């Protein structure tokens, strides 16, 4: 059987990898020493030119199924790693069969949870990780995705204005449905609490987190915040026809949480004296989409909220309230954001995303201003932050992914093999 590579956006260099060797035997010629989460499969991180991939050995049916699921999650705009290819027909030089492999693109500026603790976060940051897990799980459930193996190990985290955003890494046990029952959602929550509890106990045993942290309290928080957010996003609200303003209030509250309401059910009773309102379609990214429309910047949602607040402050301080908002945002971008980020030296640009750096500079300015008794200039703050704070941070990115490839399928035996067909 010939080696076959089925890919959505194929990288021609994939064929140069040593597919005739078991993944465990690949050497430093191809491997990259990036942190990776725990896995039941053999997983390796490889660099091909300017791109980085995770490669996982698994069974052919499972690889193709997970590939399709990850493609579906991408189409739905959900936070998950991007599938790159499925490689089958692997054989050693002596003709022995080797397991198929699933390749996914490395998520830039992301880390598994263990590496986050190694990079300096503490037990005090665990609630932020829990919140990121909760938002991810709620978003997946709203889209009809049953995960089946919720855990910290199956997630990558990216920093998001002092908080975190979680991305699904392993969809092996997942299933996409038109609608999830309450029982399936609760099963995911139960599995999640059990897995996270065990993972936190393991962290404690290895002395990677403060020994006084209570894993039981953490998982209770996970279940509690999941149910609170799910209720907020999906519950029905009843009021009289004289209180129609409460519809806008409900939408504004969801916007404050970072969610846009795309569709809402409004039902009146028989006499028309009472109204029931239930959001039908909600999607995270309210602040991100607003910032992108104003500036063109693509960032995480908490980062977008922070930058929008800075634009608002710039509007007030510059007495620009009567100016068009897009014009003000463009001035802020060219007079502050871009010049501040340009101060970061090339050797430090892999430490944090630009939006996260700008957020940390704003936080740093608050501390410097408090010490000085007056507001410190943003550019003076940036220089101090770069020298005193950023220089000491570890590297969290290696390279930027390319988005220039065309969609096509590659096979080495002359046949088309597109898994999504």
CA 239, 242, 247, 252 torsion: positive or negative?
A: negative
Count Cα neighbours of 213 within 13 Å in the Cβ-side half-sphere: 23
Structure tokens at 315: 């509007």
pLDDT at residue 86, as a whole number: 94
Residue 245: predicted pLDDT:
78
Q: How far is CA 5 from the centre of its chain?
A: 27
Q: Report the greatest alpha carbon distance in the chain.
A: 80
Q: What average pLDDT does this structure show over 35-48?
A: 74
Task: Find, among 192, 178, 160, 199, the residue nearest to 79 by Cα.
Answer: 160
- CATH numbers and ranges of domains, the chain: 4-105 (3.30.200), 110-234 (1.10.510.10), 237-284 (no CATH), 301-392 (no CATH)
Q: Judge whether residue 126 has pLDDT over 60.
A: yes
Per DSSP, the residues of 352-407 read S-HHHHHHHHHHHHHHHHHHHTSPPPHHHHHHHHHHHTGGGSPP----PPP--PPP
Taking residues 195-218, what's their average pLDDT?
A: 82
- Max mean pLDDT among 26-30, 377-381, 398-402 falls in 377-381
Please choose, from the candidates 210, 218, 250, the residue with its C-alpha nearest in 3D space to the C-alpha of residue 134: 218
pLDDT digits (tens, 9 = 90+) for 290-338: 999 999 999 999 999 999 999 999 998 888 878 899 999 999 999 999 9
User: What is the pLDDT, as a whole number, of residue 399?
Assistant: 40
pLDDT digits (tens, 9 = 90+) for 343-368: 999 999 888 999 999 999 999 999 99
- Do you know the residue count of the chain? 421
pTM of the model: 0.80
DSSP type of residue 412: T
Helix 126-142 and helix 182-205, axial crossing angle in degrees, nearest 10: 160
């Amino acid at each position: 059987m010939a080696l076959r590579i089925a890919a959505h956006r194929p990288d021609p260099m994939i064929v140069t990898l040593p597919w005739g060797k078991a993944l465990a035997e690949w050497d430093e010629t191809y491997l990259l020493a990036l942190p990776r989460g725990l896995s039941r499969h053999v997983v390796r991180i490889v660099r091909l030119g300017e791109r980085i991939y995770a490669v996982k050995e698994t069974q052919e049916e499972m690889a193709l199924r997970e590939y399709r699921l990850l493609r579906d999650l991408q189409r739905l705009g959900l936070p998950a790693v991007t599938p790159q290819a499925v490689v089958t027909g692997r054989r050693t030089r002596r003709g022995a069969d080797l397991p198929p492999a699933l390749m996914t693109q490395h998520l830039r500026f992301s880390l598994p949870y263990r590496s986050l603790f190694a990079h300096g976060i503490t037990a005090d940051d665990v609630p932020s990780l829990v919140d990121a897990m909760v938002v991810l799980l709620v978003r997946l459930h709203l889209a009809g995705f049953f995960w089946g193996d919720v855990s910290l190990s199956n997630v990558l985290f990216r920093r998001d204005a002092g908080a975190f955003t979680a991305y699904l890494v392993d969809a092996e046990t997942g299933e996409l449905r038109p609608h999830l029952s309450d029982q399936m959602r609760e099963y995911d929550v139960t599995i999640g609490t059990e897995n996270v509890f065990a993972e936190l106990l393991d962290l404690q045993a290895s002395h990677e987190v403060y020994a006084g942290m209570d894993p039981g309290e953490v998982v209770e928080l996970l279940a509690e915040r999941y149910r609170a957010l799910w209720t907020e996003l999906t519950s029905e609200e009843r009021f009289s026809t004289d209180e129609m303003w409460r519809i806008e209030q409900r939408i504004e509250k969801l916007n404050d949480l970072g969610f846009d309401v795309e569709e809402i059910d409004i039902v009146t009773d028989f006499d028309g004296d009472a109204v029931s309102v239930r959001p039908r379609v909600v999607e995270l990214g309210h602040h991100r989409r607003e910032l992108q429309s104003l500036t063109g910047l693509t960032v995480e949602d908490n980062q977008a909220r922070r930058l929008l607040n800075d634009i608002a402050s710039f509007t007030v301080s510059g007495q620009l309230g009567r100016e068009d908002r897009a014009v003000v945002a463009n001035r802020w971008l060219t007079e502050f954001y871009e010049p501040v980020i340009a101060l970061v030296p090339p050797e430090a640009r892999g430490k944090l995303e630009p939006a996260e750096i700008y957020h940390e500079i704003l936080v740093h300015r608050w501390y410097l201003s408090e010490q000085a008794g007056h507001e410190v200039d943003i550019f003076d703050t940036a220089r101090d932050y770069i020298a005193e704070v950023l220089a000491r941070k570890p590297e969290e990115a290696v390279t930027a992914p390319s988005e220039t490839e065309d969609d096509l399928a590659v096979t080495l035996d002359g046949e088309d093999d597109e898994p999504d067909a």
